[in-house]
């Protein structure tokens, strides 16, 4: 009897000494959900309403806890190793969800540089509630781990092996649903087409694990060369391709542009976009159903330029970062093969969203990024006028027709009242002061976008060259956390049945100066815009663009899957589109035919063109001996190097200048211009020139 008592006591004592490893993940899961949901009440409510999902989140964190106990052998160390990254990721996810409505997703790891750079511009994003919550959690955890012996412990090798096996088994089972169909038993499913709802239902850890499957795109059923060949054969090709006219094709993506005058209970002191309104009366125009809200501009670019659709890719993914890593045909490649000069213009860093590589893979011959702009800022970013000027310069200096794609940055978030020097348009209505301030700032951006459009159309109207201009907004702006402005003015209602159309519809207009007047009102997906323009211009496209043009006539909008039924779409209606997209992006590019190896431009260039020093002299500038360099395609951000040493460089009237004092009296000076980006990488360089002994003119 005593042996049994001793055994029971020993077992009880052992269990009591180890039970803490089952308890620690509970507050960690609650903390994770608090940071993601920005509310203790919502975190607890989630656990109560979604017990099965909460249980799997707990098991995932428990498995990670087991894993690091097995590696480190101590509860304290394992707790901090697990909790620290979870709190950091949950904090980032919570902030991202408040701004963009979507939590942190596995593929966001590819966006480190972009996120870091934009975050600097957005200012103070982290709510104090989250910071205080983290501090309280850490303080309590430190006290408990140091003061309560039963909540910490060491583990021997046998125990560590057992925990390691359990950890691997639990993670494998939850991820694969094998050998135990745990997700099936708990009626847990993923919602890949709506990551916001996916997270709200499944929680952060479980959503992240289930999303791991979405990093890679699965091959559609039936994808093979024979089926692609049959589609090519059966597709009706356009016949209106005999025109000898080759118009310029200018495509402008206007950052965060939507029609804010549609907001109810809001009055603007004047129309923010009068020119756009006038064009809508004469030319094709309408709205497109963007795949993005509040951010993800590159995904909209991707659709417009390539004709591919984000609907067939994991929601929350970024095609530019994840998938466009090889030659992929686009309207740039199509027109380049027809003798067009093709240029992409982006008033932001060359590396942002992998732009330099993507534009190359899309068939552009030139990419002009922010490093090659004169520093004409309005607010935090280069102005829309600066982009319009660059478009016009690029079109005017080239021979032959041009295809130019440009996007803007001026109207990017944030929308604080002091973003611009002044806001000429005032806003009135029943709303908070914060909402009023944001809308007035946003209206300034709308106004400048409209002025940019007018500047472009006026120029080409006067110039007389046949030109088509597509101007569109990429997504709605994120006006405050949790859709603040949209809720405040009554645009977004509780359980709003029209939420998708309201939050994802952006305007576009297609102007031209040579075709008969042909006003048409449209509602379509961005991926159909390039096929529409090719048809409008009577320019021959490819089998793929003709396929898309025909599909557009039947289904002009490709919505999220949960809207298929409401829009009379069957999955089989889009199977061909999905298969062709897979073929071009991930497959063998069977449908590309004989142009598969002709997509890339032979001499892709980053910058204005070949940068060449033509003259270098020492002149008196402002009473100071100054090295003045003139030449061809000199970048305003270029830096003068003398014998590989950077000089303090300024730009004025197309010339680069630097103080000459440090070079006076030296022989064999070689000078060069280099353009250095924010990653400290030389992205363009001029020829070298021997400076020699320059005569210094006498002072006036």
Tokens read off for 380? 């935090």
Question: Following CA atoms 324, 328, 329, 331 in sequence, which dihedral angle do they give, to the nearest 10 degrees?
Answer: 20
Average pLDDT value for residue range 207-233? 90
* Residue 281 and residue 273 in contact, taking contact as beta carbons nearer than 8 Å: no
pLDDT band for 45, please (50, 70, 90 cuts).
Answer: very high
pLDDT band for 6, please (50, 70, 90 cuts).
Answer: low
**H-run or E-run covering 548:** helix 543-554
pLDDT at position 695: 43
Give the angle subtended at the CA of 289 by the CAs of 331 and 527, to the nearest 5°. Answer: 20
Model confidence over 152-190: pLDDT tens digits? 778 899 999 999 999 999 999 999 999 999 999 999 988
Model confidence over 446-488: pLDDT tens digits? 999 999 999 999 999 999 999 999 999 999 999 998 899 999 9
pLDDT band for 120, please (50, 70, 90 cuts).
Answer: low
Q: Does the pLDDT of residue 216 top 50, yes or no?
A: yes
Per-residue 3-state assignment (H helix, E strand, C coil) for 244-302:
CCCCEEEEEEECCCCCHHHCCCEEECCCCCHHHHHHHCCCCEEEEECCCCCCCHHHHHH
pLDDT at position 595: 93
* Residue 272 and residue 263 in contact, taking contact as beta carbons nearer than 8 Å: no
Alpha-carbon distance of 297 to 111, in angstroms, equals 13
pLDDT at position 193: 62
pLDDT band for 698, please (50, 70, 90 cuts).
Answer: very low
Alpha-carbon distance of 255 to 259, in angstroms, equals 12
Q: Count other Cβ atoms within 10 Å, centred on residue 220.
A: 18
Model confidence over 475-486: pLDDT tens digits? 999 999 889 999
Exposure b/e, 381-418, CB count within 10 A at least 16 = b: bbbbbbbbbbbbebbeebeebbbbbbbbbbbbbbbeee
Residue 16's closest CA among 152, 167, 180? 152
Tokens read off for 424? 């000429």
Q: Count other Cβ atoms within 10 Å, centred on residue 242.
A: 7
* Residue 309 and residue 288 in contact, taking contact as beta carbons nearer than 8 Å: no
Model confidence over 126-162: pLDDT tens digits? 577 888 999 999 999 999 888 877 777 788 999 999 9
Average pLDDT value for residue range 637-654? 94
Can you tell me which residue has the tokens 């949950």?
90
Q: Does the pLDDT of residue 366 top 90, yes or no?
A: yes
Model confidence over 298-330: pLDDT tens digits? 999 999 999 999 999 987 788 988 899 899 999
* Residue 460 and residue 248 in contact, taking contact as beta carbons nearer than 8 Å: yes
* Residue 289 and residue 502 in contact, taking contact as beta carbons nearer than 8 Å: no
pLDDT over 90 for what percent of the chain? 73
Alpha-carbon distance of 191 to 198, in angstroms, equals 5
H helix runs in 50-156, sequence order: 51-72, 75-100, 112-122, 128-147
Give the angle subtended at the CA of 314 by the CAs of 313 and 315, to the nearest 5°. Answer: 110
Can you tell me which residue has the tokens 């809308």?
439
Alpha-carbon distance of 548 to 546, in angstroms, equals 5
Model confidence over 383-416: pLDDT tens digits? 999 999 999 999 999 888 999 999 999 999 999 9
Can you tell me which residue has the tokens 């977004």?
492
pLDDT band for 665, please (50, 70, 90 cuts).
Answer: confident
Model confidence over 259-273: pLDDT tens digits? 999 999 999 999 999
Q: Does the pLDDT of residue 632 top 90, yes or no?
A: yes
Can you tell me which residue has the tokens 């509860």?
75
Specify which residues 516 forms β-bridges with: none
* Residue 279 and residue 515 in contact, taking contact as beta carbons nearer than 8 Å: no
Tokens read off for 466? 């046949």
Average pLDDT value for residue range 12-34? 85
Can you tell me which residue has the tokens 């750079």?
117
Residue 400's closest CA among 341, 454, 342? 341
- 638's CB contacts (< 8 A; 6+ apart) are 611, 649, 651, 656, 673, 674, 675, 684, 686
Question: Following CA atoms 371, 375, 376, 379 in sequence, which dihedral angle do they give, to the nearest 10 degrees?
Answer: 90
Tokens read off for 280? 């809508």
Whole-number average pLDDT of the chain: 90
pLDDT band for 119, please (50, 70, 90 cuts).
Answer: low
Model confidence over 515-560: pLDDT tens digits? 998 899 999 999 999 999 999 999 999 999 999 999 999 999 999 9
- 418's CB contacts (< 8 A; 6+ apart) are none
Domains belonging to the chain, first-starting first, are 10-215 (no CATH), 248-605 (3.40.720.10), 610-690 (2.60.40.10)
The pairing of strands 655-659 and 624-632 is antiparallel
Q: Can you say whether the dihedral through the CA atoms of 614, 618, 620, 623 is positive or negative?
A: positive
Backbone angles phi, psi at 176, to 5 degrees: -100, -15
pLDDT at position 97: 78
pLDDT at position 110: 58
* Residue 91 and residue 197 in contact, taking contact as beta carbons nearer than 8 Å: no
Among left, alpha and beta (phi > 0; psi -120 to 50; other), residue 589 is left
Give the CB-side neighbour count of residue 475, counting CA atoms within 13 A. 20
């Amino acid at each position: 009897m005593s042996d049994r008592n001793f055994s029971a006591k020993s077992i009880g004592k052992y269990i009591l000494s180890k039970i803490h490893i089952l308890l620690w993940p509970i507050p960690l899961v609650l903390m994770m959900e608090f940071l993601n949901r920005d509310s203790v009440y919502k975190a607890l409510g989630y656990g109560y309403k979604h017990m099965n999902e909460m249980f799997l989140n707990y098991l995932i964190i428990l498995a990670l806890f087991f894993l690091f106990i097995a590696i480190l052998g101590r509860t304290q160390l394992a707790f901090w190793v697990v909790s620290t990254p979870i709190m950091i990721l949950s904090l980032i996810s919570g902030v991202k969800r408040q701004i963009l409505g979507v939590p942190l997703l596995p593929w966001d790891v590819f966006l480190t540089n972009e996120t870091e750079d934009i975050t600097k511009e957005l200012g103070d994003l982290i709510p104090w509630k989250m910071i205080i919550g983290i501090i309280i959690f850490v303080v309590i955890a430190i006290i408990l781990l140091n003061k309560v012996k039963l909540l910490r412990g060491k583990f021997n090798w046998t125990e560590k092996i057992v925990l390691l096996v359990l950890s691997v088994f639990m993670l494998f089972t939850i991820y694969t649903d094998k050998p135990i169909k745990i997700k099936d038993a708990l009626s847990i499913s993923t919602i890949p087409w709506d990551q916001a709802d996916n997270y709200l239902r499944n929680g952060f850890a479980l959503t992240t694990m289930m999303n791991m499957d979405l990093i890679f795109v699965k091959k559609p059923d039936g994808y093979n060369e024979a089926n692609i060949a049959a589609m090519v054969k059966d597709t009706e090709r356009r016949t209106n391709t005999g025109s000898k006219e080759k118009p310029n094709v200018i495509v402008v993506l206007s950052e965060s542009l939507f029609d804010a005058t549609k907001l109810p209970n809001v009055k603007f002191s004047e129309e923010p976009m009068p020119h756009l309104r006038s064009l809508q009366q004469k030319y094709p125009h309408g709205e497109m159903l963007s795949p993005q809200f509040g951010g993800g501009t590159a995904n909209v670019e991707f659709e417009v330029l390539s004709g591919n659709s984000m609907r067939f890719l994991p929601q929350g993914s970024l095609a530019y970062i994840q998938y466009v890593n090889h030659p992929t045909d686009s309207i740039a490649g199509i027109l380049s093969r027809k003798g067009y000069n093709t240029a992409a213009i982006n008033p932001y860093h060359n590396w942002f969203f992998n732009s330099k590589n993507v534009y190359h893979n899309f068939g552009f011959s030139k990419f002009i990024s922010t490093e090659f702009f004169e520093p004409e800022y309005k607010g935090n970013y280069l102005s829309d006028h600066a982009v319009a000027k660059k478009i016009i310069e690029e079109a005017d200096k080239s021979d032959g027709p041009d295809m130019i794609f440009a996007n803007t940055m001026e109207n990017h978030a944030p929308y604080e009242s002091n973003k611009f020097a002044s806001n000429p348009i005032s806003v009135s209505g029943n709303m908070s002061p914060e909402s009023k301030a944001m809308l007035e700032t946003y209206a300034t951006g709308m106004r400048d976008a409209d002025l940019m459009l007018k500047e472009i159309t006026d120029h080409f109207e006067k110039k007389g060259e046949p030109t088509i201009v597509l101007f569109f907004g990429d997504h709605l702006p994120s006006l405050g956390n949790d859709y603040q402005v949209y809720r405040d003015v009554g645009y977004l209602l509780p359980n709003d049945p029209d939420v998708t159309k309201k939050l994802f519809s952006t305007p576009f207009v297609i102007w031209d100066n040579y075709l008969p007047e042909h006003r048409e009102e449209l509602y379509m997906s961005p991926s159909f815009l390039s096929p529409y323009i090719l048809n409008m211009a009577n320019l021959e496209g490819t089998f793929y663009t003709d396929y898309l043009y025909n599909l557009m006539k039947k289904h002009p909008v490709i919505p999220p899957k949960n809207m298929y039924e409401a829009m009379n779409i069957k999955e089989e209606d889009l199977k061909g589109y999905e298969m062709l997209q897979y073929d071009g992006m991930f497959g063998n590019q069977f449908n590309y035919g004989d142009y598969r190896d002709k997509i890339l431009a032979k001499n892709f260039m980053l910058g204005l063109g070949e940068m060449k020093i033509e003259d270098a002299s020492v002149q008196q500038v402002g009473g100071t001996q100054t090295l003045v360099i003139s030449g061809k395609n000199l970048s305003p951000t270029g830096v003068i190097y003398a014998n590989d040493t950077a000089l303090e460089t300024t730009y004025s009237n197309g010339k680069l200048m630097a103080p000459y004092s440090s070079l006076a009296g030296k022989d064999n000076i070689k000078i060069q211009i280099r353009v250095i980006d924010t990653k400290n990488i030389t992205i363009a360089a001029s020829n070298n020139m021997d400076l020699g002994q320059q005569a210094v003119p006498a002072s006036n």
